[in-house]
Amino acid sequence: MREWLFKNRATDWEQMTNLPKALRGDLAENLRLWTTEIVRHTQAEDGTEKLLLQLADGGQVECVLLRDRVRRTICISTQVGCGMGCVFCASGLDGVDRNLTTGEIVEQILRLQHLLNAEERLSHLVVMGMGEPLANLDALLPALEEAHRPDGLEISHRRITISTVGLPASIERLARTNASYRLAVSLHAPNDELRNQLVPINEKIGLAAILKSVDNYFAVSGRRLTFEYVLLADLNDDPQHARQLARLLSGREALLNVIPYNPVAGLPYQTPSHARQTKFRQILEAGGVRVQFRHLKGDHIDAACGQLRRSQTSQPVVELG
């Protein structure tokens, strides 16, 4: 069954033709293979595809397939909503409803794999969808193992990235139990005062504790750390922020992913001008930081986390497939 599901991309029991016919009949009668329903499938010209899945209890989550040359990256969710409350993010606007189960996480992976052509193969997996992955490690880790196993999707650990707001206790747990994944930490501010405003959960944590736990993760895993920084006009994009950020990251084996803000309907935040972005980048580079600007793909299909789910109720989306 594993081979049919993960290797042969089967979509129902009937296709598993080397199982006895009677067994297939029994399975079809007694076991639901899929617990989610695709309620929306959107597709952008750059090859990005996004699914909005409805769970058995009516909750909704998003997951995305990104195509970049030979790379086929999928981005999956771990919770319905999010409890971290980052002020600019669509996923957390209404808080968190519940954790996803391991099965619901695996199902996103398989549903996205079904979007591929026969000659395409999933190469990378990022846990950057809705929710805070480190708040649901118990369900997430077994799901990632399914993606990794030789009889699963065979995605190597270093091609699996977990993105977190930065929960030190969970980062330490990950360092103790399974430090083979790449970790991406969402910083968004170079000091606690500003971070408390943008990422309210930071008040209970603080940058020092986060950096201590990620330095330890790096020491144990040897995997280069990634930090993410959503660039918001007139909030965290000042040259002074760039200088402070360069000081904070100096001496660390790290990559900084700067993500120019992808506007969310109904929120007042804006993307900085091109000139402002360039200036920010130059200061970081001059400060010795390895920096990459990540321009969101498929933004006109609301590919940033939580946007498609919200748009169900607020604005129309082009529907395909």
Q: Which residues does the annotation mark as catalytic?
A: 62, 305
If one asks whether residue 73 binds ligand SAH (CB under 6 A), the answer comes out as no
Give me the amino acid identity at 249: L
If one asks whether residue 228 binds ligand SAH (CB under 6 A), the answer comes out as yes
If one asks whether residue 106 binds ligand SAH (CB under 6 A), the answer comes out as no
If one asks whether residue 108 binds ligand SAH (CB under 6 A), the answer comes out as no
If one asks whether residue 104 binds ligand SAH (CB under 6 A), the answer comes out as no
Residues comprising the chain, all counted: 321
The DSSP line for 164-194 is ES--HHHHHHHHHH-TTSEEEEE---SSHHH
Give the range of 40-48, 113-121, 162-170, 244-252 binding ligand SAH by CB under 6 A. 162-170
Dihedral angle, C-alpha 153, 151, 61, 45, nearest 10 °: 20
Give the range of 103-111, 149-157, 161-169, 308-316 binding ligand SAH by CB under 6 A. 161-169
In angstroms, what is the minimal distance from the CB of 216 to ligand SAH? Answer: 19
If one asks whether residue 86 binds ligand SAH (CB under 6 A), the answer comes out as yes
Residue 25: phi, psi to the nearest 5? -65, -45
Closest CA to 318 of 44, 36, 38: 44
- CB of 5 or CB of 195, closer to ligand SAH: 195
d(CA 79, CA 18): 36
Helix (H) or strand (E) holding 225: strand 225-231
If one asks whether residue 230 binds ligand SAH (CB under 6 A), the answer comes out as yes
In angstroms, what is the minimal distance from the CB of 198 to ligand SAH? Answer: 9
In the set 227, 304, 308, 309, which binds ligand SAH (CB under 6 A)?
304
If one asks whether residue 76 binds ligand SAH (CB under 6 A), the answer comes out as no
d(CA 177, CA 183): 14
Helix (H) or strand (E) holding 2: helix 2-2
Helix (H) or strand (E) holding 53: strand 49-54
In the set 89, 242, 249, 284, which binds ligand SAH (CB under 6 A)?
89
Give the range of 4-12, 86-94, 108-116, 117-125 binding ligand SAH by CB under 6 A. 86-94
If one asks whether residue 262 binds ligand SAH (CB under 6 A), the answer comes out as yes
The answer to whether residues 49 and 65 touch, using CB atoms and an 8 Å cutoff, is yes
- CB of 16 or CB of 189, closer to ligand SAH: 189
If one asks whether residue 136 binds ligand SAH (CB under 6 A), the answer comes out as no
The answer to whether residues 153 and 146 touch, using CB atoms and an 8 Å cutoff, is yes
The answer to whether residues 125 and 74 touch, using CB atoms and an 8 Å cutoff, is yes
If one asks whether residue 183 binds ligand SAH (CB under 6 A), the answer comes out as no
DSSP β-bridge partners for residue 38: 53
If one asks whether residue 128 binds ligand SAH (CB under 6 A), the answer comes out as yes
If one asks whether residue 170 binds ligand SAH (CB under 6 A), the answer comes out as no
d(CA 124, CA 182): 11
String marking each residue 23-62 x if it binds ligand SAH according to CB under 6 A: ----------------------------------------
Beta pairing class for 49-54 and 79-81:
unpaired
Closest CA to 100 of 128, 73, 131, 63: 131
- CB of 10 or CB of 231, closer to ligand SAH: 231
Q: Return residues touching ligand SAH (CB under 6 A).
A: 84, 86, 88-89, 128, 132, 163-165, 186, 228, 230, 259, 261-262, 264, 304-305
